[in-house]
Amino acid sequence: MPDSGAVLVITGAFDPTADLVVEELNRRAVSVFRADTAWFPSRLAVTAGLDGPPGWRGPLATDHRTLDLAAVRSVYYRRPTPAEFPPELPPEVRAVAAAEARHGFGGLLSALPARWLPPPGRAAEAESKPLQLRVAADCGLRVPRTLITNRPDAAREFAKRIGGPVVYKPFTPIRGTVGGRSVAVYANLLRPEDLGHPSVATTAHLFQEWVPKAYEVRLTAVGRRLFATEIHAGSDAARVDWRSDYDSLDYRVCEPPVEVAAAVHRMLARLGLPYGAFDFVVTPAGEWVFLEVNPNGQYGFVEQATGLPITAAICDYLEGSAG
């Protein structure tokens, strides 16, 4: 039996993924309160009191709506933006106000006895590529041979040991504007001479062996439910990193091998996550190779292309009707 109460959706003003969830919850007549942490403190006010069990209660309010914190059954934590403060505040005052908002307002929300998707602290930890690669290997998934270094000579030696193509991947999404144009850094195949470049010494770099691929798979996990989709690339750029050319992609629903599904569930349990967007390479021999997991990854493009009921599964989880 689903729990009663409201679903608190915490995300930025423009978030098409959260829009899908809010629309489905509205269709189910579930009370939804959507807010962004950027609204605090100028457009979002909180008054919370604690007087023994059952916990914090009081209003979370905008100019138009009010939510009783005690009524929150679950929280969909997507991509909120930091709290905003008046520009006239001196920098040192703004820094203190931001820290107090993070620990006070943010800490209050995290203290609610609600079901989170995903828990923000666990999600932040799980975004670490070194951590998720180690946990994936521990859980029985095949992981490409990987090197993290800032030494050009170590990168050259790694490529020599691999004896084949090497891929560079950023640790975090890198996007920005150069010369007025929006740019992003994706995975790149490197030439041997690139690995010895002095720029390798400027910071940490992640290098992996190139895994031959028949296609890739985006596997979206919601609780115990898994939704897997083959992604077939139609351009050279997409064959290296499919995110670089969405228009060339073709999607087909598939089923993960039993041993891969079991390892995915083990990995989610180890990371403390109820949700994960997993990326795999499937080799020409049919072996699934783990690349990464995003604890708050996009799924709308997969659902739109395949009809997989991922939004419904997320709403089931938030309603408390699915584990």
In a domain? residue 139: no
**What is the model's pTM?**
0.89
Given a cut of 60, whether residue 1 has pLDDT beyond it is: no
Query: Do 233 and 301 share a domain, yes or no?
Result: yes
Residues 62 and 14 in one domain: yes
What does the pLDDT look like over 73-108, one tens digit per residue? Answer: 999 999 999 888 888 999 999 999 999 999 999 999
Indicate whether 90 and 63 sit together in one domain: yes
Q: Is residue 170 part of a domain?
A: yes
17 and 108 in one domain?
A: yes
- DSSP lists the bridge partners of residue 72 as 6
Q: Are residues 243 and 302 in the same domain?
A: yes
274 plus 238 within the same structural domain: yes
Last residue in a domain, options 153, 183, 209: 209
- Do residues 79 and 163 both lie within one domain? no
20 and 74 both lie in a single domain = yes
Averaged pLDDT, 115-135: 94
Find the DSSP H helices in 114-235.
120-126, 129-138, 152-162, 192-195
The CATH number given to whatever domain includes residue 305 is 3.30.470.20
**What is the four-CA torsion angle of 313, 318, 319, 323, rounded to 10 degrees?**
70
Instruction: Identify the pLDDT of residue 2.
Output: 47
User: Does 44 share its domain with 106?
Assistant: yes
% of the chain with per-residue pLDDT over 90:
74
Structural domain span for residue 165: 145-209
Q: Looking at residue 110, which CATH number applies to its domain?
A: 3.40.50
The pLDDT score that the predictor gives to residue 176 is: 57
Query: Which of these ranges, 13-17, 223-227, 243-247, has the smallest mean pLDDT?
Result: 243-247
Choose the final residue of a domain: 98, 117, 136: 117
Model confidence at 3: pLDDT above 70: no
Task: Examine the fold and report which residue of 179, 209, 239 is the final residue of a domain before the chain moves on.
Answer: 209
Do 230 and 258 fall within a single domain? yes
Residues 224 and 184 in one domain: no
In a domain, 291, yes or no: yes
Please indicate, yes or no, if residue 86 is contained in any of the structural domains.
yes
**Structural domain tally of the chain?**
3
216: β partners? 231, 281
Segment (H or E) for 270: helix 258-271
- Give the pLDDT score at 122: 93
Q: Report yes or no on 300 lying in a domain.
A: yes
SS (H, E, C) 23-87: HHHHHCCCCEEEECHHHCCCCCEECCECCCCCCCECEEECCCCEEEHHHEEEEEECCCCCCCCCC
Domain assignment present for 246: yes
Same domain, 226 and 171: no
Residue 43 lies in a domain: yes
Residue at 1 is within a domain? no
Q: Kindly report the number of other CB atoms within 10 A of residue 33's CB atom.
A: 19
Nearest to 289 by CA among 212, 205, 220: 212
Compute the Cα dihedral for 39, 114, 60, 311 and give only its sign: positive
Structural contact between residues 263 and 289, judged by C-beta atoms closer than 8 angstroms: no
Gap between the Cα atoms of 278 and 219, Å rounded: 5
